[in-house]
Structure 1
Amino acid sequence: MVVAAGNGAYGSTEKTSAVRKPLMILPTIPRALSPGDQFMLPVTVFAMEPSVRQVSVNLQQNPFFDISGSPAQNITFDKPGDQVVYFNVKVKDVQGVGKLRITAQSGSEKAADETEIDIRNPNPFITRSMQMVLSPGQQWNASAKAIGIPSASTASLELSSLPPMNLQKRLQYLIRYPHGCIEQTTSGAFPQLVLKQLTDLSDAQQAETDRNIRAVIPRLTNFQNRDGGFGYWPGAPDSDEWGSSYAGHFLLEARLQGYLVNESAIQSWKSFQRTKANQWVPATNNFYGGDLQQAYRLYTLALAKAPELGAMNRLREFKYISPEAKWRLAAAYALAGYANAALDLVSGLPLEFPARQHPGMTFGSDLRDQAMALETLTIMGKRDKAQQLVGTVAARLSEDNWYSTQTTSYALLAIAKYCGKNPGKDKIIATVQVGGKPVQINSMKYLTQIPVPFAQGEVPMQVINKGNNTVYARLITTGQPLTGDSIRPTGNPSMLSMTVSYMGTNGKPIDISKMAQGTDFIAKVTVRNTGKQGTYQQMALTQVFPSGWEILNARLADAEPGYKSSPMTYQDIRDDRVHTYFNIRENETLQYSIQLNASYAGRYYLPATTCEAMYDNRIQAASGGRWVEVLNR
């Protein structure tokens, strides 16, 4: 385009000019693939000049793919135009970023295309562990066995002077958690802030921890509302009070450690906290858990050096204040410089809490409440009581029980803070052999981690306690089973029922085991609350689809879908999966539908569909995975 102007007059002209080569190629590839997938790779060859007649098309061999049949094909053009050639490709049992390089040649004319594609295992991570308590001089021999693909499986040996807390398992659970509300996003990073107080970190581990923390800090601003609070989901109209306190707590701790935090975001958050603190009164809608929510808010204000003493005193005089709220309020008084008031609040209080029937507005559990009490004792300098409690919290983490992101994060946080303020008296002295390579351990930290690399599927390991005190050893292995491996879906049909069905655009059921390429269809999930425990909050429905299917996102197409789903609180649509979040009342049935297209010919794995209450693992349902085919037209 040419534009001209002069003496108040303007003019322009434009001309379309085609940019092309005599020979061009265009492959059509799924956005992502899984180990074991088999697909038909179409390559469109364009002959733009009459001189292009005999064309040889080649697909290069590489470590990620096997080619069934010849990697080279020849085609003939009588005149300029386009033709399609097909290659049958199978994904090897590997993970990573694969490359498909295709070349074409006709005489002196050449064309090439190289496409990177993510090869990911859609199956969930599985963690296995074994442990041994080593007396002085005792030896332990064990073997770490890879789960799934050895190169993608990880293992870690933990040696601890405390009861082992499954640190690697619990930390990776938080980092890899697939959902991302304000609480879960914060929980994924919070323990990493204090990790170095608990264990020695290598330069690479410290760099990775810093990257994770720096990535989460700006992400949290996506949740912040105009009132200064943080919504449970990005764009939520109302701020979540516990989530606001929790996210603000993390940002304050991050700033104290030297991370860059937006000051205006902190000031806006403090204003929100102050307003809510002064407005709070007990009511029917916040009677259970509301006092703890207020106590935590007051604690964060005290941590921000802006204590609201009037609100603290009013809560202290509340007739029905719970023990867990007293522990949290005592921490606020201690930070504000009122040690005697803090001591009076916790005098005679128990260090055990009843198991919760519901996580409630604070996403809590009895273990989370114990962790908060441990943090309070650490702040108050009560080492003897804290020492008793830290062993209890660590021992509960070492069990193979499920804990929510909130409970896991706060338990690790409280243990690390205790360890940072109370250096260990017992050294960990041990000789370790991993795969025949010796490692000498001599550490004053409470916990030491030794990575176990998988060159093959199994690594022998030996530990000898050379010190004078007991050492707790735990070997933790994490990995994803191979696609198609037998993974038994877990569920509790007495609490939650779920059915998954597929239908055509005409509403009639279809068989997804074999579908013609180009078919539009709908995946419908029906979920029912069986009425055993009232309303279920913070439900998450996860649907991961095969590589050969495409999600038809009506929002991106600026069109209304031809089906209707039940109300939801949030929906996250990605390339190959959809996360849907909702609440479901007692005896209520909800339906959620996703429009799909069978886009790429081949054989692919359809992972399990799961539905769960994110803070109560008793409420869950799942369907099994299976192989499906998309037939070439």
Structure 2
Amino acid sequence: MDLTRFRTPDLWKIFYAREALGVKTWDMYDLVMGAFGARLEKALAIGGDGSAEGEKNTKANRFKSVVKFFGPFTLKAGATKEQQITMPNYIGSVRTMVIAGNNGAYGSAHKATKVRKPLMVLATLPRVVGPNELVELPITVFAMEEKVKNVSIKLEANDLLQPTDGTTRKIVFNKMGEKMEFFKLKVAKKLGIAKVNIVATCGELKSTYQVELDVRNPNPRVVLVTDKLLNKNETWQTDVETPGMEGTNKAVLELSNIPPINLGRRLQYLIDYPHGCIEQTTSAVFPQLFLNKVMELTENQKQQTEENIRAGLRRLLSFQTSMGGFAYWPGNRYPSVWGTNYAGHFMLCAEEAGYTLPVGLKNQWIRYQQQQAKEWERNNDSYYSSSELEQAYRLYTLALADRADLAAMNRLREQGNLNASARWRLAAAYQLIGKHEVAQTLIANLDTKVEPYKEYSGTFGSDTRDKAMILETLSLMGKQKQAFPLVKELSNALSGSSWMSTQTTAYCLIAMAEFAGKSGSGLLQFSYAVNGNPKKQQKTDKPIKQVNIPLKSGKANLQVTNIDKGMLYARIITSGIPVEGSTLSNEQNLNLSVKYVDSQGKPIDVTNLKQGTDFEVLVTLRNPGLRGDYSNLALTQIFPSGWEILNTRFGDIDTASDKNAPDYVDIRDDRVYSYFGLKRGETKTFKIKLSATYAGHFYLPTVTCNAMYDNDINACVAGQWVDVKR
């Protein structure tokens, strides 16, 4: 509190403050309840069991503050009362604050007190560490009185950290002061929260200190899919092997009696996607609204899905601008036209599914959409102009919100040469408001074929995404027979191994789920056995069934039998995070170079740094000009555990010049995400200041840059091991 200049509350000023003329009410339920974390939120979710699941996502508590409340007490005039407080394991300064009131009179008093003992111990570790890394743990012992002479130190750690040079040390003090000792710790090939407990003793004196830190793997998750078409009574036996380290592997058996959509893999891709613009945030949660239409969910799956959707709705608040639309990145001034349509579509579907929207989110969005719908003009070059498809989608979302702008819909319909994608979406809007004949007229003689294309910004579209939007319209209009060729086409795209953007992936899953939910699929039946155990029979009236496969040391033997009346599409989806990332550098339609320099700009070798060295990393990217201008590029830099990003909140993360400034920067404990565009032939250089803070042997992950909506534009510089020495 001394550092943050926290003031003791002045109750008189609070209670006698002037009152405003108006009164506003705010629903803070989600914000208040969210402070309790997974435990309370899960207890309130449907099902209510499995509350301990929240522990899996618990983060290490790096600083345990001392906050205690006592009272209220009654103190008679002239009386004195003493309150004893048991202090937790804490070294530093605490402030005791007392506030009092009596018949409209209020007062307060406070006093700062140093917390110290004759013998104290302090330890420090990085914020995170990675598997197989070696870190030196510095321990500082303070002798605050002359009687402290011979001190014994004992180190205790959980199974995620293994001491390599013993667990005890001896320190001799000739006078009051402080001394340091070091322990070397090897990180296990596991993930979780590593805990270290240091115990210092001197005779009857004892001091302890605990440190928690996250063991994380910075590498991307690897997903593998094996599939098989099972005829009636056919049995498939196979060995399941996973690609990741212990604690990261998952295996799921997925069967369906409709053309496969690769649900497990594609949905996991959306959830694991590291970037978070308005489109990607929406894409991660939008398909989850429709999961219960295509598969039975366990209670834990229901809870997790509901939490994800609620979190997505809360996240939308950070994108909403003063105009009411949603910006592409949090804090951006202007709304993204497509992002506003797409996120609004998700918001309305979530509300229809029974989710409570954050206060004001929908009303502000509706006002913005209504204004833009009225102001839209074809071929308008102003910032607020939008394409025909964007306007059609905007009108569709207004119709979905029961705020249809019929005049704007008619005006768009009367435009000459209205493109096919816009006509399909406008037809859906008319269908929603009951104008079925108009909807039918709009799509009469329209082909469902879409010429191949990719869009790096704007609507972030592709020909496959547009086909999914057409399928959504056909399902809405009850044209299942006409839609089935599209279903097969999208099934082939989803079940294949080809890369798909987040926008295309999400919309395909949404459209396929809506089609399956309205069409029905009959009974799905099969049996399976794992590792020679007795067979288990499964049946469901949903088109997809998923079963988690238990793993032993990352392996399992699986036997699946089709006991259904027809064919079943079976697939095994395995995923895991490998210990090390890519060992190869690569460039595809993008040039990337990484250089490390000292404070004077001279190149340095980062594989062997001295502890305390401050330096900079310069990442230079160039558009070779072969594919025109690039937009929405994402640069990912994850740094070794022993390095720290310097002064991230004071502007020291910058670019080599203002013209190189990224559109958006996302700074985390151990990584920096930068988002930007590159014109044809343009070069940009990004600079980050770093410090080699902790001694040890650490892994420097791969530096990657890619176009978020085109997998053919990417580059990476291979990861390597680095040392920081005392």
- TM-score bracket relative to the smaller structure: over 0.9
* Separation in 2, partners of 1:266, 1:292: 22
- Is 2:360 aligned against 1:264? yes
Deviations 1:72-116 (A, max 9, x none): 111111111111110011101001111111111111111112222
Determine if contact 1:525/1:592 at 8 Å carries over to the other structure.
yes
Greater RCO structure (CA 8 Å; 6+ sep): 1
For residues 468-617 of structure 1, what are the structure 2 equivalents within 5 Å?
Answer: 468-483=565-580, 487-492=583-588, 495-554=589-648, 556-557=649-650, 564=657, 566-617=660-711
One-letter amino acid matched to 1:265: L
d(CA) in 2 for partners of 1:271, 1:88: 60
Q: Tell me the CA shift for residue 563 of structure 1.
A: 5.3
| Letter matched to residue 619 of structure 1 | I
Q: 1:509 to 1:617 in 2, by over 3 A?
A: same
Q: Does residue 171 in structure 1 map to residue 294 in structure 2?
A: no
* TM-aligned CA distance change 1:140 to 1:13, over 3 Å: closer
Could you tell me whether the CA contact under 8 Å between 1:564 and 1:593 is conserved in 2? no
For residues 252 and 615 of structure 2, what CA distance do their matches in structure 1 show? 44
Greater displacement, 353-362 / 535-544: 353-362
- For residues 181 and 466 of structure 1, what CA distance do their matches in structure 2 show? 45
Contact 1:364 1:407 in 2 (8 A): yes
SS across alignment from 1:390: helix
- In the alignment, residue 48 of structure 1 is paired with which amino acid? M
Whether the 8 Å contact between 1:158 and 1:164 is mirrored in structure 2 is: no
1:91-110 to 2 correspondences below 5 Å: 91-110=187-206
Contact 2:655 2:687 (C-alpha < 8 Å) held by counterparts? no
After superposition, what is the alpha-carbon deviation per residue over 1:355-388, rounded to whole angstroms, capped at 9, x for unaligned?
1143441000111111111110111111112233
**Alpha-carbon contact 1:354-1:366 (below 8 Å) kept:** yes
**Deviation string for 1:259-303 (max 9, x for gaps)?**
110352211111111111111111165999811111110110010
SS at match of 2:499: coil
Supply the AA of the counterpart residue of 2:606: I
User: Would the aligned equivalents of 1:101 and 1:112 in 2 still touch at CA under 8 Å?
Assistant: yes
Paired letter, 2:579: L
AA of the residue aligned to 2:340: S
Distance (Å, rounded) in 1 between the aligned partners of 2:211 and 2:666: 27
Distance 1:487 1:49, change over 3 A: same
Match of 2:316 among 194, 198, 220: 220
Q: CA offsets, 1:501-542, max 9 Å, x none?
A: 100010010000100000010010000011112211111111
- 1:351 to 1:386, Cα distance in 2 relative to 1, 3 A: same
Letter in 1 for 2:547: I
Match of 1:384 in 2: 481
Which of 371, 376, 384 is 1:275 aligned to? Answer: 371
Tell whether 2:516 aligns with 1:423.
no
Counterpart AA for 1:590: K
Residue deviations 1:389-444 (CA, integer Å, cap 9, x gap): 2222122100001111111111111111112222113x221111123343211122
CA contact (8 A) 2:469 2:511 kept: yes
The answer on whether the counterparts of 2:134 and 2:184 sit within 8 Å (CA) in structure 1 is yes
Q: Is the 2:121–2:207 Cα contact (8 Å) retained in structure 1?
A: yes
Residue 465 to residue 229, structure 1, CA distance change in 2 (3 Å): same
SS of residue paired to 2:374: helix
Name the counterpart of 1:253: 349
- 1:272, 1:15 → 2: CA distance? 52
**Deviation, structure 1 residue 150:** 3.2
* Residue 14 of structure 1, CA deviation: 7.9
| Residue 85 (str. 1) matches residue 178 (str. 2) | no
Paired position in structure 2 for 1:294:
391
The alpha carbon displacement at 1:616 in A equals 0.9
Contact 2:582 2:718 in 1 (8 A): no
* Aligned counterpart for 2:553 among listed residues 447, 452, 456: 456
Unaligned runs of 5+ in 2: 1-96
Q: TM-score, normalised by structure 1?
A: 0.95
Deviation at 1:136, TM superposition (A): 0.6
Tell me if structure 2 keeps the 8 A contact 1:147–1:480: yes
Kindly state the Cα deviation for residue 452 of structure 1 after the two structures are TM-superposed. Answer: 1.3
Residues 241-250 or 163-172, more deviating? 163-172
Q: 2:252 touches 2:573 (CA, 8 Å); kept in 1?
A: yes
User: Are the aligned partners of 1:151 and 1:454 in contact in 2 as well (CA < 8 Å)?
Assistant: no
Secondary structure (helix, strand or coil) at the match of 1:24 reads strand
Pick closer, same or farther for the CA change 1:103–1:249 going to 2, 3 Å: same
Q: Tell me how large the CA RMSD over aligned residues is.
A: 2.3
Identity fraction in percent = 43
**CA deviation digits over 1:433-482, x for unaligned, max 9?**
12334321112211100111223121110111111111000111111111
Q: CA deviation at 1:15?
A: 6.7
Partner of 1:145: 241
List alignment gaps of at least 5 residues for structure 1: none
**Aligned to 1:18, what secondary structure does the other structure show?**
strand
**Per-residue deviation, 1:497:** 0.5
Task: Kindly state the Cα deviation for residue 12 of structure 1 after the two structures are TM-superposed.
Answer: 10
2:428 aligned residue: 331
Note if 1:196 corresponds to 2:292: yes
- Residues 462, 504 of structure 2: 8 Å contact kept: yes
How far apart are the structure 2 equivalents of 1:261 and 1:76? 63
* Letter paired with 1:397: L
The offset of 1:486, in angstroms, is: 5.0
